[in-house]
Amino acid sequence: MEENLRMPEHVALILDGNGRWAKKRGLPRQMGHKAGCETLERIVEAGAQMGIKYLTVYGFSTENWSRPEDEVGALMQLFRTYAKRLLDVVVRRTTLTFFRIGASFAVLSVAAEQGVRVRMIGERNRFAPDLVEAINRLESETKDNTNMTFVIAVNYGGRDEITRAVRKVMRDCRDGRIAPEEMTEQVFASYLDTAGIPDPDLLIRTSGELRLSNYLLWQLAYTELYVTDCLWPDFTREELTEAIRHYNRRERRFGGITAK
Ligand code: IPE
Ligand code: IPE
Ligand code: MG
């Protein structure tokens, strides 16, 4: 078991390295993304079992549109396939066994059986209408689940999220719904896509890159950072546990002084 580790309430993940994983094997990058999806299913299941309350993963950034068209297309198709299958399970409450045929759709079974709430952050108007519809329904069908909230960031950029929030604030101010004096950090946070979600306690980035890549810029203000060289498709429950072990050794001061 997880040796009595104190669980971070919210873990944010930058799942990076799918392309390098594929390259190492002489495979097309798309195969790395497919393997990455399978890893994600296992990690969502592990996270829910370990007692993590919020798990936020970076699936596609606002900058990722600059990749070659076929790679963008493949990523969107993967997202569509998973969103629709997940919705199907959630709506029909189909059994685990049925969806285990051919692949291990652990995310699906977790969502259906372990009460996972699904939320999407990012600007969704750029997606095809059927995908937007699937996302909206996934969110509404799972909104009462309380075991874990699984947040997927797609077409997400921290600066884009903040810019959209400012736009909403300006409209509300113009329409008399909020006065400048009423703006606080808490109020501003309620305008972000992550409204109602606590800030991440731990950020894990795979594949060794030491940067945020425009992820959760507001929310990561006091998050503990952990970077591993492990490529995302190779990431395991043990790697997740190791990150949480590191987290357990951190002293979070939030600008104060040490308690010792
Ligand atoms: C992360 O893997 C997945 C996405 C960004 C969608 P990459 O595709 O960035 O993999 P590398 O960094 O090129 O290895
Ligand atoms: C960040 O990874 C975005 C996602 C994991 C979805 P990237 O691979 O796009 O980031 P950079 O380009 O290395 O900064
Ligand atoms: Mg990358």
Give every strand in the sheet of 224-227, ordered side by side: 116-121, 148-156, 54-61, 10-14, 202-205, 224-227
Q: Which of 209, 213, 232 to mutate to test the pocket of ligand 2 (most atoms within 8 A of CB)?
A: 213
- pLDDT digit string (tens) for 20-73? 999 999 999 999 999 999 999 889 889 988 999 999 999 999 999 999 999 999
- Ion ligand 3 residues within 5 Å by Cβ: 16
Better pLDDT: 153 or 141: 153
Side chain identity at residue 85, one-letter code: R
* pLDDT greater at residue 102 or residue 26: 26
| Percent above pLDDT 70 for the chain | 89
Nearest to 19 by CA among 231, 228, 203: 231
* Residue 180 confidence (pLDDT) above 70: yes
Given the residues 18, 64, 145, 234, the one annotated as active site: 64
Instruction: Provide the pLDDT for residue 258.
Output: 79
Q: Is 105 exposed, middle or buried (0-12, 13-18, 19+ CB in 10 A)?
A: buried
Split at pLDDT 50, 70, 90, the class of 112 is: low
Write the DSSP assignment of the chain as a string of letters.
Answer: --TTPPPPSEEEEE---HHHHHHHTT--HHHHHHHHHHHHHHHHHHHHHHT-SEEEEEEEETTGGGS-HHHHHHHHHHHHHHHHHHHHHHHHT--HHHHHSSS--HHHHHHHHTTEEEEEES-GGGS-HHHHHHHHHHHHHTTT--SEEEEEEEEE-HHHHHHHHHHHHHHHHHTTS--GGG--HHHHHTTSTTTTPPPPSEEEE-TT--S-TT-STTTTTT-EEEE-SS-GGG--HHHHHHHHHHHHH----TTS----
Whose tokens are 């190779």? That residue is 234
Task: Name every residue whose Cβ is closer than 8 Å to that of residue 27 and which is 6 or more positions away in sequence.
Answer: none
Of the bound ligands, which one is closest to the alpha carbon of residue 72?
1
Distance from C-alpha of 132 to C-alpha of 129, rounded to nearest angstrom: 5
Active site residue 193: no
User: What pLDDT sits at residue 92?
Assistant: 63
Q: Is 15 in the pocket of ligand 2 (CB under 6 A)?
A: yes
pTM attached to this predicted model: 0.92
Tell me how far the alpha carbon of residue 169 lies from the centroid of ligand 2, in angstroms: 29
Whether 5 shows a pLDDT value over 50: the answer reads yes
Provide the pLDDT for residue 131.
85
Bridge-based pairing of strands 10-14 and 148-156 is unpaired
- Asked whether residue 202 carries a pLDDT value surpassing 70, the answer given is yes
> What average pLDDT does the chain have?
90
Q: Give the class (CATH, top level) of 2-157+199-248.
A: alpha beta
Say which residue the tokens 């894990």 belong to: 204
213 C-alpha to ligand 3 centroid (Å):
9
Q: What is the pLDDT of residues 78-95, one digit of tens each?
A: 999 888 877 777 766 544
d(CA 120, CA 193): 8
What ligand has the least distance to the C-alpha of 13?
2
Q: Which pLDDT tens digit goes with each residue over 209-226?
A: 999 999 999 999 999 999
